[in-house]
Amino acid sequence: IYRELNVKFPLAMIFKNPTIRGLGAVISKTCAAVFHEIPPVEAREYYPLSYNQSRLFLLHQMEPESPAFHMPGYVDLKHEVDQNVIKQVLDWLIRHHESFRTTFIVVEDHPFQVVLKNIKMSFEFIDLSAKNLEFAEAEQACNQVYRQIALKLFHLPTAPLFRAALVKLAPSYYRFMFNMHHIVSDGWSMEILKKEFYQLYEIYRSGREMELPALSIQYKDFALWQNRQMQGLEGKKSLQFWRKKIEQGLPELQLRKDRVEADDSLDSAGYRFALENEVKDKLKQIALHNNTSIFVVIYAVLNILLSRLSNQEDVVTGILGTGRNHDTLQNILGFFVNTLVMKNHVEEHESFPVFLSRVHRDMLEILQHQDYPLESVFEDLNMRFPDIPLLFNMFNLNERATEQ
């Protein structure tokens, strides 16, 4: 809407006017706003990091031997695979996305990113089908390869910050597995990569002409644009907003523990479960009835649960902003995601619809300022541990999994 109609309005307006007719009426009454493109940067030896990258670069320097910032993934190919086609796909991706050709260096104690003109990207081929394994055994062996790829460390000054392997589990069943460092990728980028991989593979496999459009800008252009935006009027408005939100401090959630860890290791575990379709349908109905999203409904429920478990009325929970508010950023590989903090006051006798409405309103307000880096707010407020909880409770929702 912003690009095509030169109209810009907050996300809340869409929820208030959920129909095309209602939204059209709002658009017709809204003053025009000139759409500003993100300009390409002139060629340089090296480029500044985005706020997101600067944060992650520092964390990587603190834990260089940790795979915590690796982003593994895979795609299944259920037909015979031509390895030369895979090479063509990777060659196109390298040319198309500068993030594959980006390295990170330190110049006079400041980190910068370097975009290389050309690099070679290879992949390992492993044929498990030749070992006459049962499929379950082959998949188990494949998982071991996947784990190795996921854990092998990256060296930030060396491109590509990406590695891959093609595993043949059985006749006409292949798995292309890969891993990227978070400093050049995020969850949205992983979906772009998978989508383009499938599209390119089918194009090259069938011998058709390339149809995917070229990108008008790259991540380095965003990084410089973001730095300027944060120092301008919009950045000052967002800083003022966040200062009011968290200047009173962020209470740490006091959950009861069944044991006390003796060291500072990052070892963790997970528990996964699937919601029954009946439960998902009810959640969707609640969201529809209250004119909000299923994300907000589940998020509100989580905060009530944490409040009861901790016996605290104020609960601080982190969520992720995509960081892709500008239309031009939708198809670019890079680290855009930003951590946002919400402090929710849970009152015991408040009805759920009232609490949900408040959470919905607060979240829409926060998303309007989602691009401002949280660490810059902490720095401005001179907040350090223990004023900042060492670890936020984070909530995220896989929309694709929800749809499935």
Judgement on whether residues 338 and 362 belong to the same structural domain of the protein: yes
Cα-to-chain-centroid distance, residue 310: 29
Cα separation of 337 and 371, whole Å?
9
How far from 113 is each of 36, 48, 134, CA to CA, in Å?
25, 6, 46
pLDDT higher than threshold 70 for residue 5 = no
Q: What are the tens digits of pLDDT across the range 84-138?
A: 999 999 999 999 999 999 999 999 999 999 999 999 899 999 999 999 899 999 9
Judgement on whether residues 4 and 56 belong to the same structural domain of the protein: no
In order, the DSSP letters of 292-313 are: S-HHHHHHHHHHHHHHHHHT-S
CATH number of the domain that residue 291 is part of = 3.30.559.30
Judgement on whether residues 11 and 136 belong to the same structural domain of the protein: no
pLDDT higher than threshold 50 for residue 340 = yes
pLDDT score for 184: 98
Q: Enter the tokens of residue 252.
A: 């740490």
Residue in the structure block whose two tokens are 């006017």: 17
> Does residue 177 form part of some domain?
yes
Judgement on whether residues 239 and 176 belong to the same structural domain of the protein: no
Confidence of residue 396 (pLDDT cuts 50, 70, 90): confident
Lowest mean pLDDT among 23-27, 87-91, 112-116, 308-312: 23-27
pLDDT score for 96: 96
> Does residue 266 form part of some domain?
no
pLDDT score for 224: 96
pLDDT higher than threshold 90 for residue 192 = yes
Judgement on whether residues 202 and 59 belong to the same structural domain of the protein: yes
> Does residue 260 form part of some domain?
no
Judgement on whether residues 170 and 247 belong to the same structural domain of the protein: no
pLDDT score for 374: 86
pLDDT score for 387: 52
- On whether the CB atoms of residues 161 and 102 are closer than 8 A, the answer is yes
DSSP 101: G
Q: What are the tens digits of pLDDT across the range 196-248?
A: 999 999 999 998 877 778 899 999 999 999 999 999 998 999 999 999 998 88
More confident residue, 265 or 67: 67
Judgement on whether residues 92 and 171 belong to the same structural domain of the protein: yes
- On whether the CB atoms of residues 238 and 374 are closer than 8 A, the answer is no
Q: What is the mean pLDDT of residues 314-325?
A: 90
DSSP 174: E
> Does residue 334 form part of some domain?
yes
> Does residue 157 form part of some domain?
yes
More confident residue, 323 or 382: 323
Query: What's the CA dihedral at 229, 231, 235, 239 to 10 degrees?
Result: 150
Confidence of residue 21 (pLDDT cuts 50, 70, 90): confident
Q: Which residues contact 368 (CB under 8 A, 6 or more apart)?
A: 10, 11, 241
Confidence of residue 250 (pLDDT cuts 50, 70, 90): confident
What global pTM score does this model have?
0.85
pLDDT score for 262: 58
pLDDT higher than threshold 60 for residue 269 = yes
Nearest-5° angle of CA 175, CA 179, CA 180? 145
pLDDT score for 273: 75
More confident residue, 174 or 249: 174
pLDDT score for 32: 60
Q: Which residues of 83-116 are buried (b: 16+ CB within 10 A; e: fewer)?
A: eebbebbbebbbebbbbbbbbbeeeeeebbbbbe
Tally the domains of the chain. Answer: 3
Q: Domain residues for 6?
A: 1-35
**Average pLDDT score, the chain:** 88
Judgement on whether residues 29 and 90 belong to the same structural domain of the protein: no
Kindly give the pairing relationship between strand 102-107 and strand 162-170: unpaired
Kindly give the pairing relationship between strand 70-77 and strand 124-127: unpaired
Q: Which residues of 261-297 are buried (b: 16+ CB within 10 A; e: fewer)?
A: eeeeeeeeeeeeeeeeeeeeeebeebbeebebbbbbb
Q: What is the mean pLDDT of residues 260-269?
A: 62
CATH number of the domain that residue 144 is part of = 3.30.559.10
Q: Which residues contact 318 (CB under 8 A, 6 or more apart)?
A: 339, 340, 341, 342, 392, 393, 394, 395
The values of phi and psi at residue 237, to 5°, are -65, -45
Instruction: Count other C-beta atoms under 10 Å from residue 141's C-beta.
Output: 16
Q: What are the tens digits of pLDDT across the range 341-385?
A: 999 999 989 999 999 999 999 999 999 899 999 888 888 888 765
- On whether the CB atoms of residues 313 and 346 are closer than 8 A, the answer is yes
Q: What are the tens digits of pLDDT across the range 162-174?
A: 999 999 999 999 9
Judgement on whether residues 31 and 134 belong to the same structural domain of the protein: no
Calculate what percentage of the chain has a pLDDT beyond 90: 67
Confidence of residue 332 (pLDDT cuts 50, 70, 90): very high
> Does residue 28 form part of some domain?
yes
pLDDT score for 1: 64
Q: What is the mean pLDDT of residues 383-389?
A: 58
Judgement on whether residues 70 and 213 belong to the same structural domain of the protein: yes
> Does residue 245 form part of some domain?
yes
Judgement on whether residues 392 and 278 belong to the same structural domain of the protein: yes
pLDDT score for 390: 47
Judgement on whether residues 205 and 251 belong to the same structural domain of the protein: no
